[in-house]
Amino acid sequence: MKKLLAATLFAAGIYAAAGSAQAAECGDVSIAEMNWASAGVAAYVDKIILESGYGCTVTVVTGDTMPTFASMNEKGQPDIAPEFWVNAVRTALDQAIAEGRLIQAAPLLSDGGVEGWWIPKFIADEHPDIKTVEDALKHPELFPAPEDPSKGAVTNCPSGWNCQVSTANLYKALGAKDKGFELVDTGSAAGLDGSIANAFENKKGWLGYYWAPTAILGKYEMVKLSFGVDHDKANWDACTAVPDCPDPKVNAYPVSDVYTVVTKGFAEKAGVAMDYVKTRKWDNATVGKVLAWMEENQGTNEDGAKHFLETYPEMWTTWVAPEVAEKVKAAL
């Protein structure tokens, strides 16, 4: 019995020493909580896992794309930007990576950031012939305009957003007006979301611009239509994304690269925690469901992170070692 007790205490001592070493190895970590929901939830998922699983001491700081990048690049803080849409700072980020200040760790969104024209899934199910945007534009009667139901509607992106320009150019390139469609401006993000909610509540067709991951696509099942062509970056930059391009061509939206970016200092000090950062990723459908849950329950980013960890253990436990997963579960 004494041998068993001694062995147990010895093992516990080794475990405690290992935990302390791991904590000392990880140390203080700062994480950017970007000002959009999916990135905010990712920040708190990282905080919970790094604190309870790896013994890090985590501080969450307010973030946004440009100021967070500038601070990480010039001051080495914060340590981690979990969800960074890297194309927004592509040239400067490449330079920071080449000069050893920042590291583009791994994709956070396995699907990337997705934009396009979508229709409700119930319309896609009822009309399986509709696979592309061109197919949808053959049926203005299925997507009635709110002010003139005799015409179809292509619902545009909110005013002032870049996607408003691309949607208008694609509407023109596709000859949608001649096919009986109006381009409808909803005025704001709330108006755009409201038009989708109204379509689902009234079981009416809806065709227009949206993006993922978002709460709307987590709440309402939508299908993204193909434009029937590959993304042509040169034409996109020269015309599709340029206001009032005189001769727009049909083009496909690019898939945005969404990576976790860390400072070199974090990568050097974080040890096994860096392995976690390089491993974890989630898909847009899961993120959308978490965001929809937050909206329905008026949850904070931290609430959303806990909901994700409690609801999707089959996903996040593959990101960490079993003993780390048990610590995280115990902390929830």
The tens digit of pLDDT for each residue in 163-193 reads 899 999 999 999 999 999 999 998 898 999 9
Q: Which residues pair with 222 in a beta bridge?
A: 120
Q: Give the residue extent of every domain in the chain.
A: 28-111+257-330, 113-255
Residue 234 sits at the vertex; the CA angle it makes with 168 and 175, to the nearest 5 degrees, is 30
Q: What is the fold of 28-111+257-330?
A: D-Maltodextrin-Binding Protein; domain 2 (3.40.190)
pLDDT at residue number 270: 83
Query: DSSP assignment, residue 58?
Result: E
User: What digits encode the pLDDT tens for the residues 251-306?
Assistant: 999 998 999 999 999 999 888 888 899 999 999 999 999 999 999 999 999 999 99
pLDDT at 212 over 50: yes
User: What digits encode the pLDDT tens for the residues 26-75?
Assistant: 789 999 999 899 999 999 999 999 999 999 999 999 999 899 999 999 99
Per DSSP, the chain holds a count of helices (H) and strands (E) of 16, 10
The rounded mean pLDDT for the chain is 91
φ, ψ (nearest 5 deg) of residue 243: -55, 135
User: What 3-state class would DSSP assign to 262?
Assistant: strand
What's the pLDDT band for 20 if we cut at 50, 70, 90?
A: very low
pLDDT at residue number 13: 38
CA-CA-CA-CA torsion sign (308, 312, 317, 319): negative
Q: Average pLDDT for residues 2-13, to the nearest whole number?
A: 36
- Say how far apart CA 199 and CA 320 lie, in whole Å: 41
Question: Matching CATH topology for 28-111+257-330 and 113-255?
Answer: yes
Q: Cis check for the bond before 213: say yes or no (omega within 30 of 0).
A: yes
User: What digits encode the pLDDT tens for the residues 95-106?
Assistant: 999 999 999 999
Q: Average pLDDT for residues 79-90, to the nearest whole number?
A: 92
pLDDT at residue number 25: 65
pLDDT at 228 over 70: yes
pLDDT at residue number 9: 36
Q: Average pLDDT for residues 135-152, to the nearest whole number?
A: 96
Q: Is 112 left (phi over 0), alpha (psi -120 to 50) or beta?
A: left
* Homologous superfamily of domain range 113-255: Glycine betaine-binding periplasmic protein; domain 2 (3.40.190.100)
pLDDT at 234 over 70: yes
Task: For residue 297, give both structure tokens.
Answer: 């329950």
pLDDT at 10 over 90: no
